[in-house]
Structure 1
Amino acid sequence: MSVRLALLLPLLSLALALPARAGNGWSTVAYPLSGPPQAIGSYASGCIAGAIALPLIGDGYQVMRPSRNRSYGHPELIAFVTRLGHQAAARGQRLLIGDLGQPRGGPMPNGHRSHQIGLDVDVWFLEQPAGQVLSRQETEQIDMPSMVIATEGILNPTRWSPRYRDALKQAALSPEVDRIFVNPIIKQALCHSETDRSWLNKVRPWWGHDAHFHIRLSCPPDSTQCKPQKPFPPDDGCDAALADWAWQTQQAALSPKPYKNPEPPSADALPTACSTVLYSPSAQGFAQP
């Protein structure tokens, strides 16, 4: 038996014996699992093998909060963000990119319930001029400004820009995009302003999302264990349900309740394959349980 195999056997035994729990290393493992890309499970309960990192600075984009180490994703997601950056640079802008996923996906200790299989990315509405690159300190400290005046149920006219609408539409028209989450007030404003609302089908309302939009790609063909979401009706979503959601958002802002930190997502129901993803060695090192 080789020395390397002798070192691996206890680790592989541990992978079989332990469930892949959030506290067992998803947020502390430093490197992705090398090999062919595989998005495994659902967007809110899964993991990814073969993820790659988005460079922190690229043409037309810059990653924010890099200390979180959440700039990993399926190669299709990395290619998609890179293309968004090129498009932004052509408009003279630089996108600020929020969280993608952890090196091997899985549940995060805070911030998200999804972003687990390398197919989600947050993009700030706030942009920078294409020629401006933020310092590392700025990427960690700059606030993400809200684009709505929630108490009035409207967009903030001093912050919202037609550029943000253009960025949303460009993303929504991309065939690999499954859906985009925005604040209900933002979606409602787009419903009122657009003459052709067909592209709004992919733009879905969700709580928060007033300072960034959340892009989710469809399951890639190479990921047979990826579980797609149920498709929504083939309409623009500018309906009574949206109006009610926007009204509830406004009422919540008018009568705020004490904020409670949500419980981190459970890892108890992760696919069995995720234990192997978490505990298997990578080319760069080992995941630490």
Structure 2
Amino acid sequence: MTRRGRSARIIWKMSLAGQALAISVLLAGAATANIVPVPGTKPGGTTPSDYRPTLTIIAGVPVPTKKREVPEGYVATKPKLVLHSQFPAKNYFGAADGPAPLKARAIGSYAKGCLAGGASLPPDGPTWQAMRLSRNRNWGHPDLIDYLKDLAADAPKVGWNGLLVGDLAQPRGGPMLSGHASHQIGLDADIWLREMPNRRLTAEEREEISAISMLKGPLDIKGADRRVDPKKWSDTHARLIRRAASDKRVARIFVNPTIKKALCDFEKGKDRAWLRKVRPWWGHHYHFHVRLSCPNDSVGCKNQDPPPPGDGCGSHLTYWLSDEPWVPKNPPKAGEKPKVVKKRAMALAALPNACRTVLTAN
């Protein structure tokens, strides 16, 4: 094992505080290779070691460092990204601030993959506004961006002023530093169940304003009233979701079971095919989650199996609205904290091999 490899292995076993200290030591001479002299020019009086990259990843951890002026006669180059297969993939993908300059391609599955050639949803459009911009998650496959623009354009036709769009994907997809398990291949989008206002929200408002829950009350109480709140839910919400699900590019839309029930009751017409795509799932009472099918030219993209036949308004939904999924069978005793089992972060090795190319593409 090389010296660098031994250092990385030692750091990985340290506490977070220990990692930070060890990384700071390693960074002392990490950037010399990132400066190359310009042929035919004289180096200035400052040595290349005075330059540091803005971001270095050691032991799978993105470490921001101070950037200094490039010495006269030298050209800055991007630091080489060294990939370690057993380190958390989220640290690599979470550190990428721009898309991979490759042909657009969704790679892998929705919860285990990445995105090449990602496109960004502009923060503002005629009938949409992107939220939580600080997360840098307004990226997706171009097909997803086109879909969102089409849906936003049709929103006023169903009585909805415009979309407030939440998380799509990171610039290169992949596992996120926090939050979603899916949203990895640029084909997932969260759309708030809150109408766009008649003005442009400020950057601060986009970070602080909350989406609106449609729940009437808590779901984890025995005999709970598991319906949407009629003071918040309206037929306009239902018309927007119906329009969203009716697009042939859509594979699924995830909503809270209470919302699925409201949609089943809303559709009085003969065409209930769109309801098959709308699936009940945990959470999703503040937003609905759109998932597109794999684009035809995305080699290696894996679709989910199709939803079961029917409109999904029968026994499957009845189960979701019962106590069984929600009320704990063995609740913790008074004063006892519930046990939380933390899952190990997905290693880079778990992703398709093509995701390494996505990470290193410049």
TM-score (norm 1): 0.86
2:346 partner amino acid: S
Of 172, 191, 196, 1:104 maps to 172
Please give the secondary structure, in 2, of the residue aligned with 1:39.
strand
Residue 233 (structure 1) aligned with residue 233 (structure 2): no
Tell me, yes or no, if the aligned pair for 1:120 and 1:216 is still in contact at 8 Å: yes
User: Identity of counterpart residues, as a percentage?
Assistant: 46
Residue 161 (structure 1) aligned with residue 234 (structure 2): yes
The aligned counterpart of 2:183 is 115
Cα separation, 2, equivalents of 1:28 and 1:261: 26
Misfit runs of 4+, over 3 Å: 7-12, 17-21, 89-92, 248-253, 255-265
Tell me, yes or no, if the aligned pair for 2:90 and 2:174 is still in contact at 8 Å: no
1:110 partner amino acid: S
Of 11, 15, 23, 2:80 maps to 11
CA shift, 1:64, in A, is 0.8
Tell me, yes or no, if the aligned pair for 1:47 and 1:117 is still in contact at 8 Å: yes
Cα separation, 2, equivalents of 1:189 and 1:51: 35
Of 277, 283, 306, 1:208 maps to 283
Of 158, 182, 186, 2:259 maps to 186
2:114 partner amino acid: C
TM-score (norm 2): 0.69
The aligned counterpart of 1:242 is 317
Cα separation, 1, equivalents of 2:106 and 2:144: 11
- Check 1:181–1:262 CA distance in 2 against 1; reply closer, same or farther (3 A cut): farther
- Check 1:256–1:192 CA distance in 2 against 1; reply closer, same or farther (3 A cut): farther
Cα separation, 1, equivalents of 2:188 and 2:315: 28
Cα separation, 2, equivalents of 1:177 and 1:158: 29
Tell me, yes or no, if the aligned pair for 1:172 and 1:180 is still in contact at 8 Å: yes
Cα separation, 2, equivalents of 1:177 and 1:155: 24
Tell me, yes or no, if the aligned pair for 1:108 and 1:265 is still in contact at 8 Å: no
By relative contact order (CA 8 Å, sep 6+), the higher-ranking structure is: 1
The aligned counterpart of 2:89 is 22
Cα separation, 2, equivalents of 1:216 and 1:263: 24
- Check 1:265–1:19 CA distance in 2 against 1; reply closer, same or farther (3 A cut): closer
Residue 51 (structure 1) aligned with residue 118 (structure 2): yes
Please give the secondary structure, in 2, of the residue aligned with 1:109.
coil
The aligned counterpart of 1:31 is 98
Please give the secondary structure, in 2, of the residue aligned with 1:26.
helix
Alignment RMSD (CA, Å)? 2.7
1:57 partner amino acid: D
Of 48, 58, 83, 2:150 maps to 83
Cα separation, 2, equivalents of 1:276 and 1:19: 16
CA shift, 1:269, in A, is 1.3
Of 333, 338, 346, 1:266 maps to 346
Tell me, yes or no, if the aligned pair for 2:131 and 2:206 is still in contact at 8 Å: yes
Cα separation, 1, equivalents of 2:287 and 2:96: 27
The aligned counterpart of 1:74 is 141
CA shift, 1:180, in A, is 0.2
